[in-house]
Amino acid sequence: MVRGIHYGGACAVLLAVAVALGLGARGGAAQLDDKFYDGSCPGVHKVVRRVLREAHKADVRIYASLTRLHFHDCFVQQGCDGSILLDNSTSIVSEKYAKPNNNSVRGFTVVDDVKAALEKACPGVVSCADILTIAAKVSVELSGGPRWRVQLGRRDGTTANLTAANSLLPSPRNNLTMLQRKFAAVGLDDTDLVALSGAHTFGRAQCQFVTDRLYNFSKTGMPDPTLDGSYRAQLAGSCPRRHGNRSALNDLDTTTPDAFDKNYFTNLQGNRGFLQSDQELLAVPGATTAAIVGRFASDEKAFFRSFAAAMINMGNIKPLTGGQGEVRRNCRRVNGS
């Protein structure tokens, strides 16, 4: 049973249309349509949902992982084009091996399973870029988060950009100024930044992304002073200074680690954000992000509305549409390669 507050039906349609119209200047964003597959593959959402439910039985992390995969695809220079899914080849240097992605982003085999199921149901119709978009939406819904009408009609890119993935993706160690700069570079504002950061309300992160906060923050040889003492002790037990496993997993939200809710923001208010980039949203007194965190912490409906809008905004980053790009038959490689 899906828990929480949901935004479907007419409200979601109006939200999607309003955002899409507002972002029409972003390449082919105005050509995206929530009814894009109604005639060519009407069961697309049911197929994605079925495959994801099955994957979740063996991997409770998969919903958060697929949501993150969509984010990491859209933020790279070409936008939401499925480039993160491409493997190395004679013509492709894969984004999977960029520092923010290597041994970190996951869910590729589930995307393969979704693609195989859709190729069986409606061959050559649904792009890998749209699979990522739908999978993120369904993952949030199945974790108790909001529902929205997802805009579709993206085509798949035929290139990858390792350099851009290394430089443009937000880092867990970025300060607030850098986070704002990276979001603004793709047309996203502070509300989008805070709302999308709220996706850290579910999922896990490795010790390597918090050890500097525990033991050598900003190369001071001391812990991050904004980190709650009891939470720091808890993390130090999981991520010891010496001889620890850098890949050991920790809940991003210790309160409800697998549910999509507003507890990420209440955790930030208690200085219990796992990543530096999380706590940075509150680190600068008077920053607009701090006020947004406060609003979301006290009003889950407001968070859900803003998250749905931010996901639509992010999904509209430089989409390939019409005759641009292609619809890959295999998400891991360009057609004909």
Q: Is the pLDDT of residue 10 over 80?
A: no
Report if residue 13 sits inside a domain.
no
Residue 253 assigned ligand-binding role:
yes
Q: For 65-73, what is the mean pLDDT?
A: 98
Q: Is the pLDDT of residue 306 over 60?
A: yes
Mean pLDDT across 207-221 = 95
Residues 223-250: pLDDT tens digits? 999 999 999 999 999 999 998 999 999 9
Res 149: pLDDT: 95
Residue 328 lies in a domain: no
Q: Does residue 305 fall inside a structural domain?
A: yes
Three-state DSSP string of 20-66: HHHCCCCCCHHHCECCCCCCCCCCHHHHHHHHHHHHHHHCCCHHHHH
pLDDT for position 30:
60
Over residues 94-103, the pLDDT tens digits come to 999 999 999 9
Is 254 assigned to a binding site? no
Is 280 among the annotated ligand-binding positions? no
Whether 240 is covered by a domain: the verdict is: no
Share of the chain above pLDDT 90, in %: 87
Question: Active-site residues: which are they?
Answer: 72
**Predicted TM-score of the model (pTM):** 0.90
Q: Using one digit for the tens of pLDDT, what is the confidence trace for 138-187?
A: 999 999 999 999 999 999 999 999 999 999 999 999 999 999 999 999 99
Angle between helix axes 128-142 and 44-58 (nearest 10 degrees) is: 60
Q: Is residue 190 included in any domain, yes or no?
A: yes
Residue 246 in domain: no
Is residue 62 pLDDT above 80, yes or no? yes
- Does 79 show up as a binding residue in the annotation? yes
> CA–CA distance from 197 to each of 133, 179, 306 (Å)?
17, 10, 11
Residue 87 assigned as binding residue: no
**C-alpha distances in angstroms, 303 versus 37, 68, 179, 264, 298?**
29, 18, 19, 11, 9
Q: Confidence class of residue 13 from pLDDT cuts 50, 70 and 90?
A: very low
pLDDT at residue 290 greater than cutoff 90:
yes
Q: Per the structure, how many domains does the chain have?
A: 1
Higher pLDDT, 273 or 24: 273
Query: Which structural domain, as residue segments, surrounds residue 88?
Result: 43-203+252-316
Quick one: pLDDT at residue 323?
93
Determine the pLDDT at residue 211: 96
Amino acid 283: pLDDT: 84
* Dihedral Cα 24, 30, 33, 37, nearest 10 deg: -140
Is 125 within any annotated ligand binding site? no
**Percentage of the residues of the chain whose pLDDT score is greater than 70:** 91
What is the CATH number for 281? 1.10.520.10
On whether 278 is known to bind a ligand per the annotation, the reply is no
